[in-house]
Amino acid sequence: KRALKPSYFSRNHFSSRATDDDDPTRAQTRLVVRILEGNGLLVADLLTGTSDPLCLAWVSSKGDDALPHLADPRLQRTPVCKLTVDPLWNSELVFPLRVTSVRDILAGAVHLVVLDEDTDDGTTHYEDLGALTIPLRDVVADGE
């Protein structure tokens, strides 16, 4: 699906910065993921011919690819874009990475899941609209 195709990688998505005390031994590597938009998503709400999409994102290490529980702090999300199949999220998500070597980065992946969100009678329901996994080795190798 075009809507779930990564269109831009940049080596600038990885950054290391020291903590407030500027102790270089306590620097933390972060991955910045920019979720810009979706195009031509599936219609989940037949009455309106649209969806109410949001995107969930998380970073996994090797062998830890399962979707975390919605309350898991590793899981981040974009806002919901109401009544559209072409959402403009323009969200920047920052993931701290536990890195001891380059292999740690190369073994990881960014996971994106697009869901339709509906609330009926005070209960929120989600319908799967698509998913994408981007191996971090591809981001490191491809760069811009």
Report the pLDDT value the prediction gives residue 18, as an integer from 0 to 100: 43
Neighbours of 88 (CB within 10 A): 12
Report the pLDDT value the prediction gives residue 19, as an integer from 0 to 100: 47
Q: pTM above 0.85?
A: no
Report the pLDDT value the prediction gives residue 15, as an integer from 0 to 100: 56
Going 33 to 11 to 139 to 87, the CA torsion angle's sign is: positive
Helix (H) or strand (E) holding 4: none
Report the pLDDT value the prediction gives residue 28, as an integer from 0 to 100: 78
d(CA 114, CA 81): 11
Report the pLDDT value the prediction gives residue 143, as an integer from 0 to 100: 57
Instruction: Give, for all 144 residues of the chain, the pLDDT tens digit.
Output: 455 666 655 555 555 554 445 545 456 788 999 999 999 999 999 999 999 999 999 999 876 778 888 888 889 999 999 999 999 999 999 999 888 888 888 889 999 999 999 998 899 999 999 999 999 998 877 654
Report the pLDDT value the prediction gives residue 47, as an integer from 0 to 100: 93
| Burial bucket for residue 85 (CB in 10 Å: 0-12, 13-18, 19+) | buried
The class of domain 2-142 in CATH terms is mainly beta
Q: What are phi and psi of 34, to 5 degrees?
A: -105, 120
Quote the DSSP letter at residue 100: S
What are the residue ranges spanned by the domains of the chain? Answer: 2-142
Report the pLDDT value the prediction gives residue 29, as an integer from 0 to 100: 84
